Amino acid sequence: MEQYYNLVADKKMQKEHLQAQRLCHEYNLLDPKEIEKRQQLIQKIVKKIGENFVIEQPFHCDYGYFITIGDNFYANYNLTILDTEKVEIGDNVFIGPNVNIYTAGHPLDIKRRNENLESRIPVKIGNNVWIGGNVTILPGTTIGDNTTIGAGSVVTKDIPSNVLAVGNPCNIIKKL
């Protein structure tokens, strides 16, 4: 059974969320030429990021401290990570523009949803993964190593290693 939390009522989480929003805002306003400042600031936002990374502006997240990113990472414009739970991203991951990664969900029952309840389910992205533009990755999913997710896909379930997967919902097209 899925567990739900009332993050709206959690004053500590509200404060941490506001801090992440402020840091993301500052990051997004930096001149793109200020590469060193951008890299220093993103290291303050996310829990861990490896060597050789670029996160194009704008970037948005809920907390940042749930996000870990490996070496050789590139994210194109407008990456949004709703990280109410762990988001683990491996090495050599490339993300297209307008990608959304969600760990938060809400009850289908209207009464419970109106109580500001939300679930928190981790997302994991393996090594050597390419995620095309306009992809949405839903809570609780894992994308295996050496996998490509085609543009516009909605990842609703685990995708294994060594495949090309596309569509809404995202399905395996072929083994790589």
For 35, 43, 69, 112, 116, the CA distances from 86, given in Å and listed in that order, are: 27, 16, 11, 24, 20
**How far is the C-alpha of 89 from the C-alpha of 103, rounded, in Å?**
13
The sheet with strand 130-131 has its strands ordered as 53-55, 73-75, 93-95, 130-131, 148-149, 163-166, 171-175
**Catalytic residue from among 17, 25, 60, 106:** 106
**Amino acid identity, position 115:** E
- Tokens for 110? 């209207």
Measure the CA–CA gap between 11 and 174, rounded to whole angstroms: 47
Pairing of strands 154-155, 136-137: parallel
Instruction: Specify whether 106 is catalytic.
Output: yes
The set of residues, in sequence order, having a beta carbon less than 8 Å from that of 19 and lying 6+ positions away, is: none
Catalytically annotated residues: 106
